[in-house]
Structure formats: C-alpha cells, structure tokens
Amino acid sequence: MAQRKHGRLWCWLGALLGLVLAAPALAQALLDRNQGQLALAPHTRYLHDDTGTMDVADAWREVDQGHFEALPATGAAFGFQHGAFWFHIPLGNQDTRQRQWLLVQEYPLSDRLDLWVRHADGRIEHDAGGDHLPFDARAVRYRYPNFMLELPPGERADLLLRVQSQSSMQVPLTLYTPAAFIELSRDAQFAIGIYYGILVALFFYNLVLWLALRDASYFWYLFHIGAFGLVLLTLNGLGFEYLWPGSPWLADLAVPLSICLAQVGMQQFARVFLRLRTAWPVGDRVTLACIAYFMALGVASVWLPYRIATPLASASVFLSIGWILTVTLVAMRRGDRSARLFLLAWATFLLGTAMFTLLAFGLLPKSFLSGYGVQIGSALEMLLLSVALSYRYASLRNENERIVRRAKLQLESQVLERTGELRNALVQLETAHARLREASRHDPLTGLYNRGWFRERFESLLEAARLQEQPLSLLMVDLDHFKAINDRHGHLVGDDCLRRCARIVEAVLRPHHALVARYGGEEFIAALPGMDVHRARELAEEICKRLRAGPIRTRGPEVSVTASIGVHVVDTADPSPGIASDLALQVVDTALYAAKSGGRDQVHVAGG
C-alpha cells in the first residue's frame, strides 16, 4: 500500500514538474472585460490524434508534458484530415467583475466538439457541441458552435478542446464577453440580412425578366442564384439554424448536394449565355460532361460518406472554375463581345469561390477575405450582371427611340420627295432584290450556280431545245478520289481544289454558253444547248486534259486531281419536261458511274 501511495505521489510530482517546465512555452490568454473579445490563435497549442482514439486523460497528460505545438502559418485551418485535433488554451481572468465568457468556434460545419475546462482547484467541467448534436444543445442559439465559460476572477484555467469532423478542419476560436458577442452577432446578422436581401431582390427581378422574355439564360441564372443561396446558407450555418436544426444528417448532406447544384447551375448558365452549342461544339460537350458529373456526384452524396463526398465536391469546384474561365476566354477570342461582360461579372465571384475552397483545404489562412470572399464576390457578380442587363435594356430602348425618330424623318422626307425620286428608289430596291436573288442561285464555295437553280434552268433549256429541235447535251463531272485529298491534306486544301477545278470546268464550257453548276460535294454538272454528242465528248476530254496537265496549287501542297465525266445527249422528243429532265439526270449519272467503274480519269458517253 505504501509503495502504491509513493507511486501516485511521484506521478503527481512528475505531472507538476512537466506543467512547470511547459508553462513558459504557453502564452497565457489574459482576459479583460475592456477588450470585449480575444482571438485565441496566438495562445493556442494543438495536437493531431490521427487515429482519433486518444482519451481525455491521455490528452491532459500530453498537455502537462508540453507535447502540444504552436499553430501552423495557416492558423487553425488544416483542411480535410483524419482523426481528431486537440487544442489547449491557458486562460487567466484579470477582470474582477466579468465571470462569464462565451467561447465561439467561428466555423459552423464541425461535427463534434468536446470542451474540458480545468480550473485551478483541479475541478474539470465538460461540455459538447457541433452540428452532430441538435441545434438546441448550444449555449447560445447562434450559427457558430459556442460554449459559455464560468471563469473566476484572478484564477487560471486550462481549456482542452477536442474536434473531430469529416468536414474541413477549421477551428478559429474567439472569446467574447456576452455584451461584445451580442453586438457582434447583431452586426453579423445585419450584414447577412443585407446580403440575402440583395440575393432575394435580384432573384425576383430576374424572375420577372424571365417570365416576360422567356430567355433560357435568365432561368439558369435564377437556378444558379437559388442553388448558390443554399450553399451559403449551409456553409454559414444558417441552414442548420433555421431549416434543419434537428437533423444532423441533413446538415451533412446539404453541403456536397448544394455545391453540386450550384455548379450545375453555373455550368449551364455559362453554356447558354456563351452559346457554346453553336460557338464551340466541343466545349459544349465538355460542359455537358461537367454537368453530368456534378449531377451524378450530387445523387451519390446521399449514400457516400461525408468525408468522401464533401472533399470531392470541394475539389471539383477548382475544375469547374477553370473550365468556365477556359470557355469564356475561347468565346472572347472568337469575337463574342458578351464574353467580356461575362468574364468581368464572374471574375470576382470565381476569385472568392477559389479562396474559400483553398481555405477549406487548409491552403490559405482564415482572414476576412478568405472567409467572406464568396459572399463579396457573389454579391458583386450578381450586381454586375444585373447592371449589365439593365444597360442592355436601356440601350435597346434608346435604339428603338432612335429608329422611331429616324423613321419619322424618313417618312416626312419621302412625302416631300418628288415622284421621280420615289421611282428611282423603287428601281434601286428592285436592283438590290435582283442581286440578292442572283446571289441565292450561286454556290458560296465555287461561285457556280447551285443545284436548285440548275434544275430550274435545265427544264427551261430542255423545253427550248424541244421547240427549236436542237440537241442538248449534259456533262456530269466527278473529281476522282477527292475524299482522300480531304483526309490527307484537310478540308481547307480540299476547298481550294474544288474552287480551282470549278474555274477549269467553267473556262472550258462557258465559251459555249453552257449552264455550269456544282451538283453536290465534288460533282459538277453542265448543260450545253445546241451541242451534239461528238462536240460534248471533245469538251469533256478537254476538261480531263486540263485537270491532268498539272497539279492544283492550293494554300498548302500542290495536289494532282483527275476527273471522271459522264456525257449524255438528252432526248428532246419527250413532251413532258419534268419527266425528261429527271430521266436525263439519271442517265448522265449512270454514264458517270460507268466512267468511274472503268478506271476513272476518263469520259464515258451514255449508250456508247
């Protein structure tokens, strides 16, 4: 029995000696009511229990032996970590009148907090908090976990806080007097109220615009505002305070789910606003893949553990931000003026989101900008977009007024104009219409007539040949192995070849009053009125000869091109032009097929 007593005595003496030796290394936090609040980071030491199995007795022993270490450069932000973190803060209350202090952890998403207070007389008190306990378990109904401390004046007390969470490990601790905390919470709630007031006002403003204009970009912007508002409600602890105070499971699920919904809205809004489907189809497909990824992650977060779903969703925000910047820069390079406005409006929001995510992973210290960058950036972004929409509306209104004024002036001028001037304007209008009609008849690549106009004119030529009892020949030209040219050298070189070959065909046939058109792809067709089969064959041979004579010069390499040509003299005795034209085109196409089957680079006459 005596040995056991002596053993206990030595243990107490060892612990006391460790406390005495460690005391100089611990900067005691001295409390004074005049301060109102005290940030505890300079006085905090921590220990990482990566297994999460250390009990409180072992933790006190580590404190007494001085094994706790100072906070890193990032402060009390450690990112996503396994196990538990222990924090030790020595306190000394110098205020003789202030006994109650409120300890606040200014991060709302920690799962479980256990606080032990060891008083100078050896008495130890315990309290618990975090969002895995009902919201009513908190000392003060506030969005941040908090504990009310009873600290006798003039005495020292040691705080030992254990934090274990699947969320980001952020433990910024501050002590407040009740009066200082009331003032702080009032100002904070007022600022949050202003922010959400702006959010709600912008939501309904854009809702009215969407209902009036039915523009899809407004709908997806509304979706993004709503989803991002849910993100901030969750990350600020307001969702747990007001929406699901009795459901820790929903408090955990809301974090990754709201992040995924916000990213879906952001990506879809960017996709619609920048018109990626037509402006950049590849980027549009990648954006759709991002949307599908976040939708799948949001659904999976219902079953995935919080420690997997939340870091994965948070890390994916970096990729989402990077991709939106990429598509915006690509749209700007392609001449989309609205992309500049989009980038300006979203730059502050994307920066704030990136800072908040870096803070969640422990890569940035907690500060005003990193902690509230999302709110600041999103408020500026939404205001800038609303201003831009208002500016666009004002510009359209001014443009409409200018058009109306100009129309009135033009109307007055037209009334005063003489009849001759009006007739001249009508003639000019008819000329412009004729030019437009003529332009619609041509193939934009080669400048030849297009297939539709050829069919219309060919029936007229066929009817004229029948009435005048003259021959009418058809030539169908197909460039040999043209797909290989496109595959080997690219479509730009292929387009150059088509233009050069069209010029050669036109140069041979136009002196003979031929109607030449691009029939489709690499095929050309020509109608030669008054031309018999012998002369038509000679001209076809001349086309093959000129194409064969030398390589075609393009913007890239020189390309050798040959052609197969089908020749047919139309039977003008058929009294039905429509049937005769279809039959003639079928026959000359068959002749062309025979030329290609016979080895290409040759002329084949139908029936020959």
The continuous run of DSSP H or E covering 605 comes out as strand 603-605
Question: Could you tell me if residue 6 is inside a domain?
Answer: no
Residue 409: C-alpha distances to residues 184, 402, 416, 419, 538 (Å) = 63, 11, 11, 18, 63
Whether the predicted pLDDT of 204 surpasses 60: yes
- Which pair of tokens denotes residue 543? 């086309």
Question: Could you tell me if residue 436 is inside a domain?
Answer: no
Query: Which pLDDT value is given to residue 363?
Result: 60
Tell me what the pLDDT averaged over the chain comes to.
Answer: 82
Q: Do 137 and 206 fall into the same domain? A: no
Alpha carbon distance, N-terminus to C-terminus of the chain: 128
Give yes or no for a contact between 175 and 138, defined as CB atoms under 8 angstroms apart.
no
The continuous run of DSSP H or E covering 474 comes out as strand 472-479
Percent of the chain beyond pLDDT 90? Answer: 29
Query: Which pLDDT value is given to residue 395?
Result: 53
Closest CA to 261 of 317, 217, 206: 317
Whether the predicted pLDDT of 287 surpasses 90: yes
**pLDDT tens digits, one per residue of 18-59:** 333 333 344 567 776 667 788 898 889 999 999 989 999 999
Residue with the larger pLDDT of the pair 432 and 76: 76
Whether the predicted pLDDT of 420 surpasses 70: no
| Whole-angstrom distance, CA of residue 183 vs CA of residue 243 | 24
Whether the predicted pLDDT of 578 surpasses 50: yes
Residues with Cβ < 8 Å from 343, sequence gap 6 or more? 325, 328, 329, 332
**pLDDT tens digits, one per residue of 353-367:** 666 666 555 565 655
| Whole-angstrom distance, CA of residue 127 vs CA of residue 113 | 8
Q: What is the CATH number of the domain that holds 494?
A: 3.30.70.270
Q: How many domains does the chain have?
A: 3
Q: Return the exposure string of 117-132: e unless at least 16 CB atoms fall within 10 Å of the residue's CB, then b.
A: bbeeeeeeeebebbbb
Q: Do 194 and 168 fall into the same domain? A: no
Q: What number of CA atoms fall less than 13 Å from residue 311's CA on the CB side?
A: 15
Query: Which pLDDT value is given to residue 273?
Result: 81
CA 390 distance to own-chain centroid: 23
| Whole-angstrom distance, CA of residue 210 vs CA of residue 216 | 8
Query: Which pLDDT value is given to residue 375?
Result: 66
CA 216 distance to own-chain centroid: 16
Domain span including residue 541: 451-605
- Which pair of tokens denotes residue 151? 């600290």
Specify the DSSP class assigned to residue 556: S
Q: Return the exposure string of 420-436: e unless at least 16 CB atoms fall within 10 Å of the residue's CB, then b.
A: eeeeeeeeeeeeeeeee
Q: How many CB atoms lie within 10 A of CB 551?
A: 12
Question: Could you tell me if residue 67 is inside a domain?
Answer: yes
Question: Could you tell me if residue 148 is inside a domain?
Answer: yes
Question: Could you tell me if residue 430 is inside a domain?
Answer: no
* Torsion-angle region of 93 (φ positive above 0: left; ψ -120 to 50: alpha; else: beta): beta
Question: Could you tell me if residue 369 is inside a domain?
Answer: yes
Percent of the chain beyond pLDDT 70? Answer: 82
Give yes or no for a contact between 170 and 76, defined as CB atoms under 8 angstroms apart.
yes
Q: Quick check: pTM over 0.85?
A: no
Whether the predicted pLDDT of 477 surpasses 60: yes
Whether the predicted pLDDT of 176 surpasses 50: yes
- Give me the mean pLDDT over the 476-505 stretch: 91
Q: Do 168 and 215 fall into the same domain? A: no
